[in-house]
């Protein structure tokens, strides 16, 4: 059902707050405003490597096994740099050195953490 030119997935304003580490704010054509934290974006990185990791947990799991007594302190991930890719995406370089993730606005609207978008774009399939 989604048409290729869904205005809900067209940003009219994109702000990446690198120096404050506040994350990314996007205002969409339908006046909706989305806010993303950098750790959230890092988790939802759409690149092939991360997708593989999301799907095949085994690699990561094996590494952390045995150190499960206390959760390890992880420094909060932020962004080192960001740039737009044409008119359709934004690329973010994270402080953990990862920079291959290209976040298309399509993808970003779909992962908008707000409830309305969750209902709209990520319908929960219950029972
Ligand atoms: Zn990635
Ligand atoms: Zn939203």
pTM of the predicted protein model: 0.78
Confirm whether 28 is domain-assigned: yes
- Is 86 contained in some domain? yes
Residue 93 lies in a domain: yes
Distance 48 CA to ligand 1 centre (A): 7
Ligand 1 center–CA 23 separation, angstroms? 17
**Per-residue model confidence (pLDDT) at position 111:** 96
State the sign of the Cα–Cα–Cα–Cα dihedral 61, 55, 106, 123. Answer: negative
CATH code, domain carrying 44 = 3.30.2020.30
* Ion ligand 2 neighbours, Cβ < 5 Å: 34, 112, 114, 117
| Overall number of domains in the chain | 1
Q: Express each pLDDT in 50-67 by its tens digit.
A: 988 766 554 444 444 444
In a domain, 113, yes or no: yes
* Strands 79-85, 23-28: pairing kind: unpaired
Instruction: Give Cα separations from 20 to 15, 38, 79, 81, 124 (angstroms).
Output: 12, 11, 10, 12, 34
Q: How far apart are CA 57 and CA 112, in angstroms?
A: 24
Report CA 44 to chain centroid distance, whole Å. Answer: 4
**Least confident residue range of 8-22, 56-70, 77-91, 94-108:** 56-70
Note whether residue 114 is domain-resident. Answer: yes
Q: Residue 87: pLDDT above 60?
A: yes
pLDDT of the residue at 55: 63
7 or 98, higher pLDDT: 98
Q: Which listed ligand is nearest to 108 at the C-alpha? A: 2
């Amino acid at each position: 059902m989604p048409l290729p030119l869904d205005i809900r997935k067209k940003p009219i304003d994109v702000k990446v707050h690198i120096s404050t580490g506040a994350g990314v704010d996007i205002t969409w054509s339908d006046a909706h405003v989305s806010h993303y934290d950098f750790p959230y974006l890092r988790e939802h990185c759409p690149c092939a490597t991360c997708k593989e990791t999301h799907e095949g947990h085994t690699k990561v799991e094996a590494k952390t096994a045995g150190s499960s007594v206390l959760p390890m302190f992880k420094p909060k991930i932020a962004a080192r740099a960001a740039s737009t890719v044409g008119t359709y995406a934004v690329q973010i370089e994270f402080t953990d050195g990862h920079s291959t993730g290209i976040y298309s606005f399509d993808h970003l609207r779909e992962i908008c953490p707000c409830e309305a978008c969750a209902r709209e774009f990520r319908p929960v399939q219950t029972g």
